[in-house]
């Protein structure tokens, strides 16, 4: 995790893919103990983690 930008109104953080699960899983497992904003961030990170994986596989011989 790296803080890219921070000011009075916003913060920009860069996460490595390998670090996202380490952050998200404990938050989601203990969701009852966290505020809505924290859970929103965790779910957004989880969604991004899922989207970073390329799930598309080109069917063989599709353009033959």
Sorted by where each begins, the domain ranges of the chain are: 16-52
Distance CA 38, CA 45 (A): 11
Task: Give buried/exposed letters for 7-16 (b at 16+ CB in 10 A, else e).
Answer: eeeeeeeebe
Give the tokens for residue 61. 């011989």
Q: pTM of the full predicted structure?
A: 0.66
Helix pair 36-52, 17-29: axis angle to 10 deg: 140
pLDDT tens digits along 15-57: 888 889 899 999 999 999 999 999 999 999 999 888 887 677 7
Report how far Cα 1 is from the mean position of its chain's Cα atoms: 12
Give the residue with greater pLDDT, 29 vs 64. Answer: 29
């Amino acid at each position: 995790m790296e803080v890219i930008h921070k000011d009075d109104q916003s913060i920009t953080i860069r996460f490595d893919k390998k670090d996202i699960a380490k952050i998200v899983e404990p938050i989601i497992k203990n969701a009852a103990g966290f505020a809505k904003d924290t859970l929103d961030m965790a779910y957004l990170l989880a969604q991004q983690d899922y989207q970073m994986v390329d799930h598309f596989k080109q069917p063989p011989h599709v353009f033959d």
